[in-house]
Amino acid sequence: MTTQPQQQQKPTHWAIIGGGNGGQSVAGHLANMGFYVRLFDIIPSTINQQMGIHLDGEVEGFGKLKLASTDLDKVVTGADIGLNDF
């Protein structure tokens, strides 16, 4: 009897639209959980230059983002799930 090799499950890619408090909280939490997260915001100053979000409170850690950008196309292209925070 032969067994099939297990297929590796590809990571879920999230696109978070809006870098306000809610968007950054969700993006940081998802990234901290190991998901691939890309964050879009129209204001460049709200994009975290460390390419991640520090979490402090109920959930603590650092959520490393795959991308933080003001270019919506770059953020949403290839995303499996999108979340709008506005």
pLDDT digits (tens, 9 = 90+) for 31-46: 999 999 999 999 877 6
Q: For residues 44-81, b (16+ Cβ closer than 10 Å) or e, as one string?
A: eeebbeeebbebeeeeeeebebbbbbeeeeebeeebee
Owning domain of residue 56: 24-60
Comparison of pLDDT for 73 and 4, the residue scoring more: 73
pTM score of the predicted model: 0.82
Structural domain tally of the chain? Answer: 1
Q: Is residue 40 part of a domain?
A: yes
- CA nearest to 37, candidates 21, 18, 56: 18
Q: Is residue 73 part of a domain?
A: no
Q: Is residue 43 part of a domain?
A: yes
- Mean pLDDT over 9-37 rounds to 92
Contact (CB, 8 A) for 75 and 19? no
Q: Is residue 19 part of a domain?
A: no
Q: Is residue 4 part of a domain?
A: no
CA distance 45 to 43: 6
Q: Is residue 72 part of a domain?
A: no
